[in-house]
A and B are shown apart, each in its own frame.
Chain A
């Protein structure tokens, strides 16, 4: 909004302030809507292509050169399909649900910083806002399941809600870790201390700890947008599709859109928190002459993470519901809590006391200990699996 304010400031100076603010906001809003509406076309294409390549296939090939128009064709097909309202459905909620889901995914973009000034709104509660808004999609899912008047859709919605709520806790705890380190919820403030190149990214702070935090956050993010291996809410190959069982046509496309947008949002937030956001890995690459490359770097990082999500999807089998809950409550949550405590303690230690960057290096002895521990554990695990294999063979 700062950006458009500078851009349009002179033009809109004469308007009443509320109208001027609305005008400033309109430009990024429209841009983001376009980005969000057209993005899934590219993501779905990428997904099908990656799926194909990973399975030694080629993927879409016929529609357009290298199948580039395949997703457009799919989207057009979905648009022309009839929207079916199941008998006994709560029609208002039924129509509203996909809108809520999409809006929940879309609103998170408001605080995603694409550059120093390229941000729709630099809220001082940015991360809190992201958490709050991304929970909105849970409401939408429940609405969709309830309004469908279909018990399987409702089951799917409940599964989905349980999963999202469970995984939000470790994710939010990791957010808390970063917020403790920075002392601010604004995403601009979180990006700022990571300036100065690759080595300053939060990913490397307190060395073994923040990478673990990143993994925990990424895993919970994966679960929050219902991606494999946590896609039990819409396990297309084994269960009824879940909350969107009864949806068809454009409403179904909206759920799809929301899913892919949420992937990008999670990836963008993860790259802001850990990978320096819009900052280039090498400071010299931050701008190309007068053109800032902030959006490019943010999208490069976010899309890399999206690629990793797709990569994981075509690698891992789906988790069972109990395994899903096990991972959330017994693995990720303890790790996240431990990280909150440990990093909280380390943050108290002044980063550069005694002229030494403790926040970069204090982790190394800890790393050594951890590696030692993991090595012994690995040896034990190896022995255990050997014994287990012998037991099974016997």
Chain B
């Protein structure tokens, strides 16, 4: 191409491409915006999204497979043999619960959300929930205690199980739990009184007055809750 022709070509191409670009931005001026106004609107997470872990204490048989599966060792479990005299209890799928889980802590600040802990669970009692808004200003608040005596985090089951979860003993334990922290290596806790025959369904608010077990515990129970290594 000759120089002059090239000059006109470039000029035309410049003007033309500017117009093309303007057309594109003009179209985007009116397209649907992708911004999500977070606190007001929330993203509907897919049901299988892997967010905060949840452990249904009533179904845990204390086998510790989730602990071994965890690649970052963020699950701390302690379980003792139940007294032979105690009545037999069973997990939701019929597995007998032979161990008394005294400590079941999950440090969500370490969790890598890999979901590996949920596969080996024989009773499907540990799983990821779509709950993701659990940021705190204090990292230790991410240590969730699921075992009953110092449970800080026994929320309602977000997956809405078909059968109502069976809460363990409501009233009679009242004497035992006040010792908040999971015991050190030396002192195993007084074996938690075996749950009475499962009576009241609602897990989070047993109507009995002496119910320090569920939501009352977090304040006192947290600081001393040394994960105590599984």
**Measuring CB to CB, which residues of chain A are less than 8 angstroms from any residue of chain B?**
50, 52-58, 61, 215, 311-312, 314-316, 330-331, 373-374, 377-378, 380-381, 384-385
Contact = CB atoms under 8 A, between A and B. Distances in A.
B36 to A, nearest CB: 10
A15 B31 CA distance: 61
Closest 8 CB pairs of A and B: A381-B9, A315-B21, A58-B35, A315-B25, A54-B25, A377-B8, A53-B29, A56-B34
A61 B13 CA distance: 38
Contact of A56 (B7, B13, B28, B37): B28
A61 B31 CA distance: 18
Nearest to B24: A315
Nearest to A335: B11
Interface of A (DSSP majority class):
helix
B23 to A, nearest CB: 9
Contacts of A215: 15
In this complex, the interface size class of chain B, counting residues with CB under 8 Å from chain A, is: 20 to 34
A315 B18 contact: yes
Interface string B3-17: 001011101111100
Contacts of B5: 377, 380
25 contacts: A53-B29, A53-B33, A54-B28, A54-B29, A56-B28, A56-B31, A56-B32, A56-B33, A57-B35, A58-B33, A58-B37, A61-B35, A215-B15, A311-B25, A315-B21, A315-B24, A316-B18, A316-B21, A331-B7, A331-B14, A380-B5, A380-B9, A381-B12, A384-B1, A384-B9
Contact of A380 (B1, B21, B22, B25): B1
B9 to A, nearest CB: 4
A18 B130 CA distance: 78
Contacts, number: 60
B26 interface: yes
Q: Main SS of the interface on chain B?
A: helix
B37 A61 contact: yes
B34 to A, nearest CB: 5
Contacts of B29: 50, 53-54
Interface in B115-147: none
Nearest to A381: B9
Given A373-B8, A380-B1, A314 B25 contact: yes
A249 B80 CA distance: 66
B9 A311 contact: no
